[in-house]
Structure 1
Amino acid sequence: MNYLARAFGHLYAKASLKRAFCLILVLLSGFGWQQAYAQITGYPPISAKKAGQLNPHSPDPIFNYTWAGPKATDGLESYTLSPVSWSVSNPHSFNMSGFKKTGTIVVNGKGDIRFDFGQTNAALLEFDSPDLQDSVQMSISEYNQPPNYSSNYPPKTLSPKKHGNTYRLELNPDLYEGVRFGWIHMRSFSKTWHITAVRLVCQVRPTNYKGSFSCSDTLLTRIWYTGAYTVKLNLLKDYLGAILMNRGDRFSWTGDAHPAQAASMVAFANYDFVKKNIDYTSGQSNGIRSYALYWVLSLVDYYKYTGDSLTLKKYTDNACAKLDDAYKVYDTNPNLEYYGWDERLGAGFEHPNLPEPQNAYKMLSIRAWKEFAAAMAACGRADLQDKYNKYATEEMANLKKDAAWYKDFGLHAGADAVTTGLLNIDEKKAIYAKSFTDKVNRISYSPFNEYFVIQAFALMNKYDDALISIRDLWGGQIKYGGTTFFEDYRPSWNAMVGTNGPVPTNQCGFTSLCHPWGAGVTKWLSEEVLGIKPTSPGFTTFNILPHLGRTLTYVSGKTHTLYGDISADFNVATGICSISVPTGTIGRIGIPKVEKNIRSIKVNGVLLWDGRYHPIDSFGGASEDADFVYLTGAQPGKYKFVVDYNGATPKYIEPFASYAAKYISMDSKTGGNWGGIYGKDGYVLCNYNGDGKDKTALPPYVTSVNYYKVKGNGLPLNLTNASKTNDRRALAPDPTNGYPRTAAGLYAMDGDQIGYTFTSTIAVKGEHNYRVSLYFLDWDNTTKPIEVEMFDAETSNIIAPAKMIKSCTGGVYLTYAYNGPVKFRINMSPNSKAVLSGIFFDKDK
């Protein structure tokens, strides 16, 4: 009866007569409260059946739910979640003793309750109360503090909307957001009242896990399932989008969709939905040239996995137009608009036409031509096969007229060059040595762009390096506390923000912690570590070539195809392996040597290999190289292998993370009295003379100090908080530490898409050892954190771990030592006016 009353309360509060009428019909038909409630929240209750246990390596709270034949035409459904833990700001204000058992909270005063729902969800937050009389607000967040965005963007804290006895946080017309943490804020208190339930109402698209993956490193296993869950949360009704916390791009970006669709196919085999998203994005490039080519690669991926030649033919003209456009502008250094958030790729929309992204775009074009040509060959279009192979081979041949054609390529251009498949051994070795051995800088700021880096690692047969990079980038996000993958990430964040703490903003002012473009690693693990990969469209022929490297001892999993499951299990410690080949397919199996000797292989009890092939009916032949014993022509069936190994796999020595610059200290005591401590070689007092004019005394080894932010005249905003002040936090006008002083500086503030960060570049003559100190002052006591990143100004490689100043209300100096030109990126929290007030130069001790 309480459910019925609550439902009618919803009905009374809702303005939509259509929904009200639907609700009455539902109630009268006896379907119950859940169905009635679904009419209000927009989606019917989950129709999947619960079977088995949750997967301990997956963050998905409904992993063990299965739908009967989910289709691309299905709509979204809903389910509810209760919090897994909670904390209160004032224990005297809240009696939580009955909450775990009955859902009841007794409110006795003002304060805040924070609820952790255990993982990021696509959800709305609400609570029930029969007797609330006081002022209440609610918040949601992906991390453990409520976001505080400026008025330019949708808030994440609002007063709830009342629907009968239910109070719901309604932040947007779709209601649903990416949320892990939720808050109820008691802003006033007059008398004791009660909360009787707190929940998330979560949206889900009917999707079953058809693929699987596990290995001897549970972190890698968790990475596979976290990537899958990230994609699942972003499978919307009609397209693959994003449940972003505070962004206006809730639609499928063609480039973002490429790794997301790739992961979706290996995890869910929801090919019809991927096809639907390819159609949805076929007319879009979002104004980004590289994204048009990623759409072509997505079409090719889909064709490889499904063999759907009709869809490939339907979009052939579309793909050709995109590829021809890339050919048309190949030699012109076109306006790319965007290539990635990584500093080396132009820092998002700031400088997208630097040599590195231009070179990367050329390589991406060659790859797209080559892969599309292969697809055309498979579907019988020899004319287009020849055309695009000619594009690829001619442009690569032109490049190779210069033996050092790749000498200026960095990590991303190098990765895109390797993935063309047209490099020789020496070229790959040179690119690897230049950009892929530095443990820090072989990690891209963007998990999207790192997807192509790990593809290049595989093509260079550097699997151990790839796995270490995967553990650093994607594993680091899990160690932070993430349950989905992020838009951007630096491994050094973990040391400064703490578990589930607010992460720094990127150049557009936000960092999404549930960004499906970061899920490409799921496909990579299935194709490269488990080793299941199609060799003809639709898996009519396929390879299983597992790459365990020196750090893994077993891998197991499956990939679902239209013919059925291809499964594989390899244990190089015990020598027990098994595979399953579905009817209608033929496989090529690689028994991994992992740098040991294989003395013999038995299959289903029969000797197949002992240095030479012993023919059996189920296989067509066998051969070997340094990495595998290859079994060709594997016919449909189930096979158990017993491999007799001899020797030991060498131990992998993981490289150390090292930085070219040295972080020295964080000083929060000196304040504005810099004379005698900082600036003995020279200094810059930012905007000290007003109107953007610095007060400077540069040392001989510094030729200039410049600032950049794309707004107005290209400079950061100038700020003068106070002039002629005796406040010791303000920088002194000279090394005598005298008075009066000016509190001034530069800051980034909400204003445009890249108006949240700014950079300061220091040009240095030759190589000179020196120290540089940055002074930050939060004059207005906003207590918003600032993150500082340090790059080599010539290579844009990161040269020091990211540092976060959690509060600089008293002024804080960050000091580094380096020997060349540097660029600092100052990342602000939204709505913060914490200011860079000075730069000081000293001899390195």
Structure 2
Amino acid sequence: MKFKFLSTVGLSLLALFGQAQQASWIWYPGDYEVWLSTKMQNRRTERGSFFPPFWKLDAHYVTVEFSKEYDLKAAETIEVFTEGQYNIKINGKLSYPYSNKITLQPGKQKINIKVYNQAHVPTVLVKGKTINTDNTWKVTFEDKEWIDETGKASDASATLYLPAASWNFHEPHEKPSQFKLATRPEYAVSKDKTAGGELVDFGRETFGFVKIHGLKGSGDLDVYYGESKEEALDKEYCETLDKVRVGLPQKRDSVLELSKAFRYVNVQPGNGVSYDSISMLYEYLPLPNRGTFKSSDALLNKIYDVSVYTMELNTREFFIDGIKRDRWIWSGDAQQSYLMNYYLQFDAPSVTRTLYALRGKDPVTSHINTIMDYTFYWFIGIYDYYLYTGDKQFIENIYPRMQSLMDYCLGRRNKDGLMEGLTGDWVFVDWADGLSKKGALSVEQVLFARSLEAMSICAEIVKDNRAGEYKKVADDLKAKLFRYYWNQQKGAFVHSRIEGNQSDNVTRYANMFGVFFDYLNDEQKKTVKSNVLLNDKVAKITTPYMRFYELEALCALGDQKYVLDQMRSYWGGMLELGATSFWEEYNPDKKGTEHLAMYGRPYGKSLCHAWGASPIYLFGKYYLGVKPTGPAYSTYLVEPELGGLQWMEGNVPTPNGLIKMYVSTKEIKISGDEGSGTLRFKSRKKPASAQGTITSVGNNVYELTIQSGKQYAIKYTAL
């Protein structure tokens, strides 16, 4: 079934203001996301075997009530469509619909529709002239009404009503339960004969359904997939495969049932089976890339383009970790995808779908994905979402789930008030050989403190009087962070605290988060930079996952030139090895097929992993230099840094527009479609502009206010 996709701007508006421009299918907030994510994540297979997620999977509410009051000026006929059995009350009286059309008379009309569906999410679509289902309708999963012995209904209820949720389904045939990603045909670039079959090369990493043209015969056909040629040719150890039973007397085109990740496909037809050719249906979520970046460095441009493609492949029904192996929603991976999304697609619904899916429902029985740090990234991601979109309605809807998860965390602190892994907790941090997880790790306390700060801000948004309590716990924890982990002699946070004592080991993790969370003073930042981030004696990071944060910390310290060199070496190193998307892990010390191995398996590594696309975020935030300082870019700061480039240009998306920039060593051009911006830049000589007023703030730093809808050109001399 095909679905119309609104533009990203339109989707963002829906998310921000909760008002659909037309009738939409609606549901209980989070239920569709929970149902769809369960369906998606259970598609994972390993060598043909079903492989479900490790964590608790929740289900939707099977009965949901939808309601809204109208004051009609004239009679109106509405059409009601549901997914599930339903009844309708008009002004408290049950209606007996022999058709799905109901005529309402002028005056006040309260509509209540109750839908039951065990198989998938109860949803409803109402279409009329003025009466249309949208996010202004209220929903509940329990109405808590009762009647007394006289038959009188209760006058008041303890029912919790929430604004309805929706996405992009607007017509009766666009049933949410039937949603599928879009597909388009793509074709191989080459094919080679192999023993018993052929190896088909699609030219780059891709994702979709293999299509076999002119399939005929009776017998077996085996398909072995590979992100590399070596993997596809290794029948015993390739990560994914399909075994197809063929019984077709006449030639027919056949599309295999499950989409897969691959570049190469090794097709092995058994005796009595033949086919003409192989193609594929590329599967994707159709979102426009609104953010752009281009510079005077061709290698960096290629790194950006491959990052964009990597992000596209991993943006599906939700933000997933990697397209080959897991195809699951992991909170740590998703947190980075949210940030990259804000500088590329700026698709708010993809973020909220993923946040809902990760959280699931109460009761809380474990950390998100069972990983302590991934719980903290979830909290941080919610505040980041509010900062970039200004979507208060989402904060109000998700806040009760934030509270119960935070209560779970607060109840698992050790005697010193620190987060330490307990039975059932996976303390992950990063894939790194020899990384100790013993005791209470400093990085977990840093992330927990940030989560508490996010919790306090969200509590203020929803007017919860616990906001001050969350802030106090955060402040206390930050004080303990320095008391328990800061080592003055080493000029850094140590890695862990075991049985009340500091460990001797220094790692990069807590230190780099402390930099861009702004938990360190200027002197501490200097020592962390020299003693940790630029110190080769401290264990190096080999995953793009943590390189993301390490390079962000260095950018926050003003080392953009050094970071560009690191990008050329690290991401450029993958490109030199033939990468067409960026990997889960890259260690330049490895050779040959060592680059394909992980988890004790010869092809266990993902060669297309979402966290590999981090240059998108770094270029947008720390080179073009654009970041919101008020919700939804009501105010924003632009601090361009060339980092040794001769010029760069790009667009940074906002909820309803773009910030467009061109920066060279002599000129800055900038415009913004919304909000009030501050351009802050360095110039060796006094700059000039015919638009606006440039002011000096000292030390060769200047500022210019950017008003929406105006274009500015500044002549300056870069330092």
Q: TM-score, normalised by structure 1?
A: 0.56
Secondary structure of 2:344's partner? helix
Letter of the structure 1 residue corresponding to residue 637 of structure 2: N
Within a 5 Å distance, the mapping from 1:5-24 to structure 2 comes to none
TM-superposed deviation, 1:129: 3.5
Q: Give 1:206's match in structure 2, choosing from 270, 279, 286.
A: 286
- What is the rounded CA distance, in whole Å, between the counterparts of 2:539 and 2:470 in structure 1? 31
- What is the rounded CA distance, in whole Å, between the counterparts of 1:117 and 1:556 in structure 2? 32
Does residue 1:589 correspond to 2:679, yes or no? Answer: yes
- What is the rounded CA distance, in whole Å, between the counterparts of 1:344 and 1:428 in structure 2? 27
Within a 5 Å distance, the mapping from 1:391-406 to structure 2 comes to 391-401=473-483, 404=487, 406=493
Secondary structure of 1:124's partner? strand
Does residue 1:580 correspond to 2:656, yes or no? Answer: no
Matched residue, 1:338? 427
Q: Give 1:316's match in structure 2, choosing from 390, 399, 405.
A: 399
Does residue 1:241 correspond to 2:320, yes or no? Answer: yes
- What is the rounded CA distance, in whole Å, between the counterparts of 1:368 and 1:290 in structure 2? 10
Q: Is the 8 A contact 1:126 1:167 kept in 2?
A: yes
Matched residue, 1:639? 711
Matched residue, 1:712? none
- Provide closer, same or farther for how the CA distance between residues 257 and 147 of structure 1 changes in structure 2, counting only shifts above 3 A: same
- What is the rounded CA distance, in whole Å, between the counterparts of 1:201 and 1:115 in structure 2? 14
- Provide closer, same or farther for how the CA distance between residues 241 and 577 of structure 1 changes in structure 2, counting only shifts above 3 A: same
Does residue 1:388 correspond to 2:470, yes or no? Answer: yes
- What is the rounded CA distance, in whole Å, between the counterparts of 2:213 and 2:638 in structure 1? 53
Does residue 1:220 correspond to 2:300, yes or no? Answer: yes
Secondary structure of 1:624's partner? strand
- Provide closer, same or farther for how the CA distance between residues 165 and 345 of structure 1 changes in structure 2, counting only shifts above 3 A: farther
Matched residue, 1:598? 685
- What is the rounded CA distance, in whole Å, between the counterparts of 1:528 and 1:640 in structure 2? 20
- Provide closer, same or farther for how the CA distance between residues 344 and 145 of structure 1 changes in structure 2, counting only shifts above 3 A: closer
- Provide closer, same or farther for how the CA distance between residues 440 and 218 of structure 1 changes in structure 2, counting only shifts above 3 A: farther
- What is the rounded CA distance, in whole Å, between the counterparts of 2:220 and 2:387 in structure 1? 57
- What is the rounded CA distance, in whole Å, between the counterparts of 2:647 and 2:303 in structure 1? 16
Matched residue, 1:123? 208
Matched residue, 1:425? 522
Matched residue, 1:181? 264
Letter of the structure 1 residue corresponding to residue 635 of structure 2: T
Secondary structure of 1:119's partner? strand
Letter of the structure 1 residue corresponding to residue 703 of structure 2: Y
The higher radius of gyration belongs to 1
TM-superposed deviation, 1:199: 0.7
Does residue 1:75 correspond to 2:180, yes or no? Answer: yes
Q: Is the 8 A contact 2:219 2:245 kept in 1?
A: no
Deviations 1:727-754 (A, max 9, x none): xxxxxxxxxxxxxxxxxxxxxxxxxxxx
- What is the rounded CA distance, in whole Å, between the counterparts of 1:570 and 1:430 in structure 2? 32
- What is the rounded CA distance, in whole Å, between the counterparts of 2:208 and 2:708 in structure 1? 44
- What is the rounded CA distance, in whole Å, between the counterparts of 1:135 and 1:375 in structure 2? 57
Q: Is the 8 A contact 2:418 2:477 kept in 1?
A: no
Letter of the structure 2 residue corresponding to residue 143 of structure 1: S
- Provide closer, same or farther for how the CA distance between residues 86 and 147 of structure 1 changes in structure 2, counting only shifts above 3 A: closer
Q: Give 2:229's match in structure 1, choosing from 133, 140, 144.
A: 144
- What is the rounded CA distance, in whole Å, between the counterparts of 1:455 and 1:398 in structure 2? 25
- What is the rounded CA distance, in whole Å, between the counterparts of 2:186 and 2:385 in structure 1? 34
Q: Percent of pairs identical after alignment?
A: 20
Deviations 1:180-204 (A, max 9, x none): 112234666x9xx985432111111
Within a 5 Å distance, the mapping from 1:665-744 to structure 2 comes to none
Letter of the structure 1 residue corresponding to residue 184 of structure 2: Y
Q: Is the 8 A contact 1:160 1:169 kept in 2?
A: no
Does residue 1:565 correspond to 2:658, yes or no? Answer: yes
- Provide closer, same or farther for how the CA distance between residues 525 and 127 of structure 1 changes in structure 2, counting only shifts above 3 A: same
- What is the rounded CA distance, in whole Å, between the counterparts of 1:424 and 1:560 in structure 2? 32
Q: Give 2:635's match in structure 1, choosing from 534, 537, 541.
A: 541
- What is the rounded CA distance, in whole Å, between the counterparts of 1:298 and 1:323 in structure 2? 14
Matched residue, 1:504? 597
- What is the rounded CA distance, in whole Å, between the counterparts of 1:362 and 1:532 in structure 2? 29
- Provide closer, same or farther for how the CA distance between residues 462 and 165 of structure 1 changes in structure 2, counting only shifts above 3 A: same
TM-superposed deviation, 1:292: 0.9
- Provide closer, same or farther for how the CA distance between residues 488 and 641 of structure 1 changes in structure 2, counting only shifts above 3 A: same
Within a 5 Å distance, the mapping from 1:425-824 to structure 2 comes to 425-438=522-535, 443-493=540-590, 495-497=591-593, 503-506=596-599, 510-549=604-643, 551-572=644-665, 575-583=666-674, 585-593=675-683, 597-604=684-691, 616=692, 622-626=695-699, 628-632=701-705, 634-645=706-717
Deviations 1:532-569 (A, max 9, x none): 111111011111112222x3222211122223111111
TM-superposed deviation, 1:177: 0.8
Q: Is the 8 A contact 2:216 2:274 kept in 1?
A: yes
Q: Is the 8 A contact 2:395 2:462 kept in 1?
A: no
Secondary structure of 1:165's partner? strand
Matched residue, 1:165? 251
Secondary structure of 1:477's partner? helix
Secondary structure of 1:490's partner? coil
- What is the rounded CA distance, in whole Å, between the counterparts of 1:345 and 1:412 in structure 2? 14
Q: Is the 8 A contact 2:216 2:246 kept in 1?
A: no
- What is the rounded CA distance, in whole Å, between the counterparts of 1:160 and 1:476 in structure 2? 42
TM-superposed deviation, 1:441: 6.2
Q: Is the 8 A contact 1:214 1:556 kept in 2?
A: yes
- Provide closer, same or farther for how the CA distance between residues 568 and 393 of structure 1 changes in structure 2, counting only shifts above 3 A: same
Q: Is the 8 A contact 1:300 1:371 kept in 2?
A: yes
Q: Is the 8 A contact 2:626 2:638 kept in 1?
A: yes
Q: Is the 8 A contact 2:222 2:241 kept in 1?
A: no
Q: Is the 8 A contact 1:587 1:635 kept in 2?
A: yes
Matched residue, 2:347? 270
Letter of the structure 1 residue corresponding to residue 596 of structure 2: V
Q: Give 1:256's match in structure 2, choosing from 325, 329, 333.
A: 333
- What is the rounded CA distance, in whole Å, between the counterparts of 1:268 and 1:547 in structure 2? 23
- Provide closer, same or farther for how the CA distance between residues 413 and 400 of structure 1 changes in structure 2, counting only shifts above 3 A: closer
Gaps of 5+ in 1: 1-69, 90-109, 605-615, 650-845
- What is the rounded CA distance, in whole Å, between the counterparts of 1:449 and 1:162 in structure 2? 50
- Provide closer, same or farther for how the CA distance between residues 467 and 388 of structure 1 changes in structure 2, counting only shifts above 3 A: farther
- Provide closer, same or farther for how the CA distance between residues 644 and 298 of structure 1 changes in structure 2, counting only shifts above 3 A: closer
TM-superposed deviation, 1:149: 7.7
Secondary structure of 1:129's partner? strand
- Superposition CA RMSD, Å: 3.4
Q: TM-score, normalised by structure 2?
A: 0.65
Deviations 1:290-312 (A, max 9, x none): 11111111111211111001111
Q: Is the 8 A contact 2:508 2:532 kept in 1?
A: yes
Within a 5 Å distance, the mapping from 1:337-356 to structure 2 comes to 337-343=426-432, 346=435, 353-354=437-438
TM-superposed deviation, 1:457: 1.6
- What is the rounded CA distance, in whole Å, between the counterparts of 2:627 and 2:319 in structure 1? 23
The more displaced of 506-515 and 264-273 is: 506-515
Gaps of 5+ in 2: 1-166, 170-175, 361-366, 495-504
- What is the rounded CA distance, in whole Å, between the counterparts of 1:527 and 1:161 in structure 2? 53
Q: Which has the higher contact order (CA 8 A, sep 6+)?
A: 2
- What is the rounded CA distance, in whole Å, between the counterparts of 1:298 and 1:393 in structure 2? 20
Aligned length: 517
Q: Is the 8 A contact 1:530 1:544 kept in 2?
A: yes
- What is the rounded CA distance, in whole Å, between the counterparts of 1:506 and 1:384 in structure 2? 43
